Amino acid sequence: MGWLRDLFKDTRPVCVHCNETKTDEEFEGSPTCWSCERDILEEREFAAEKKYNCPECGAEMKKAKKKGIIVDKCPKCKGVYLNAGELKSIINSVRSSSENDGFASGFVLGLVID
């Protein structure tokens, strides 16, 4: 039955990023599966964000994504800081959600828990 397997052989190139998934998708000229493409774009989005040092202890803030909103979090003293754009997205989300759906409390709890 080898011929049958050859007939239906998946001839698509393998994703150059994970070396696993065969894909028709291309990203910047290289075969890239959709999940690798998403990872790359997400990483770039993080890298493009300005880095801050913690105003409390001076440690470099780490980016954390909470409910689609990127916040700066200090790994040392656990402080959480928002820039104007981040704060605005949170306010918009809170405004557009009803008081009962728990977005605001879920968001704040999510920050405290991890």
Instruction: Confirm or reject binding of residue 36 to Zn ion (CB under 5 A).
Output: yes
Instruction: Confirm or reject binding of residue 60 to Zn ion (CB under 5 A).
Output: no
Distances (CA, A) of 1 to 10, 12, 42, 104: 16, 21, 43, 59
Of the candidate residues 31, 33, 72, 90, the single one contacting Zn ion (CB under 5 A): 33
Query: At its nearest, how many Å lie between Zn ion and the CB of residue 98?
Result: 34
- Residue nearer to Zn ion on the CB measure, 77 or 87: 77
Instruction: Confirm or reject binding of residue 56 to Zn ion (CB under 5 A).
Output: yes
Instruction: Confirm or reject binding of residue 74 to Zn ion (CB under 5 A).
Output: yes
Distance between CA 56 and CA 76 in Å, rounded? Answer: 10
Q: Which helix (H) or strand (E) holds 88?
A: helix 84-96
